Copies of this chain bind each other. A is one copy, B any other.
């Protein structure tokens, strides 16, 4: 089974993207195919009228989500909400891409935690008829340090991420088992 992980930052070395890559590794350890779709590497056009739907990167995004049985959405927390970059990407998709699929949400905030963005994501995912995972991941402040090997430097943070991913994997197995 395949999980697509959308990294919602437009910065190359974003902590939210490092978190996404670490989650992808955990999912691969559990036997999943994991595709990280970085919105920095894939520069989407702005959603709106016109030819945007036919844009090469939009087609890649559509294909990445359509081909997945489950989705991870990761975002930096800006102004107590998700990044415009991630929102813009989601605006190209509809419930056909998410219906019935387990969705794990994660955020990275400059402050201690960033659950406002996760609440926002939960509402968006429900509107898209995705199945919100009961666990989510919020990292902030020093929890956002990753080692050169791409692992969380803080052990408690690593355990927290593993626990949420395990709950997500359990949900995927229930839905497709």
Contacts and interface: CB of A to CB of B under 8 A. Distances in A.
B131 A122 contact: no
A119 B130 contact: no
Interface residues of A, number: 16
A131 B129 contact: no
Interface string A123-151: 10010011110111000000000000000
A100 interface: yes
Copies in the complex: 2
A123 B119 contact: yes
Contacts of A130: 134
A135 B130 CA distance: 9
A166 interface: no
Contacts of A1: none
A134 B122 CA distance: 10
Nearest to A132: B132
Contact of A131 (B100, B119, B131): B131
Given A174-B174, A175-B174, A126 B134 contact: yes
Contacts of A123: 119, 122
Interface of A: 99-100, 119, 122-123, 126, 129-132, 134-136, 171, 174-175
